[in-house]
Amino acid sequence: MKIGDNLSEQALTKITLIQGFKFRVKFDVDGMPDLFVDETKPIGEDSGPNPTRLLSAAVGHCLSSSLLFCLQKARISVDNLETTMKANIERNSEGRLRIASLDAQIHLNVKEGDENRVSRCLDIFEDYCTVTQSVINGLKVNVTIK
């Protein structure tokens, strides 16, 4: 089975208030450490990444992983891969802050002699990034309060 072939795949996450705007995030994988998230000052204490940074990191990690996976499948040796993400925040017509766009800058270094072989991966890797394609296409969020 290939990654992503299981169409019923789910990622379960539990988010629990600690204090102020700090939350503990527990994931559904045994042994995976908890993540602590917070809002920026003055609302929170900056004791962890805020939602904008988490979304930016998720997109950046997904893009990086998709590119790396393609390069590995093509047997291209990667010396270094570093992605810098920038979230561009603007106010919408109602004056509420929104992430208007994300800029990803990927720095890729491959082994000498492999430079001419990366173009195929550069052409296709974004299509395989689950998070990026979900965000680009819009994502329905179902909210229930109990």
Q: What is the CATH classification number for the domain harbouring 86?
A: 3.30.300.20
Q: What is the pTM of this model?
A: 0.87
Q: Which two three-digit tokens encode residue 25?
A: 């995030």
Query: Using an 8 Å Cβ cutoff, are 62 and 129 in contact?
Result: yes
Q: Please give the pLDDT value at position 141.
A: 80
Q: pLDDT tens for residues 22-33?
A: 999 999 999 999
Residue 71: exposure state from Cβ atoms within 10 A (0-12, 13-18, ≥19)? buried
Q: Please give the pLDDT value at position 115.
A: 84
Q: Are residues 38 and 89 in the same domain?
A: no
Pick the last residue of a domain from 10, 26, 48. 48
Query: Using an 8 Å Cβ cutoff, are 47 and 36 in contact?
Result: yes
Domain span at 66: 50-146
Q: In angstroms, rounded to a whole number, what is the distance separating the alpha carbons of residues 46 and 7?
A: 37
Q: How confident is the model at residue 1 (pLDDT cuts 50, 70, 90)?
A: very low
Residue type at 87?
A: A
Q: pLDDT tens for residues 86-129?
A: 999 999 999 999 999 999 999 999 998 888 899 999 999 999 99
Which has the higher per-residue pLDDT, 4 or 117?
117
Pick the last residue of a domain from 13, 30, 48. 48
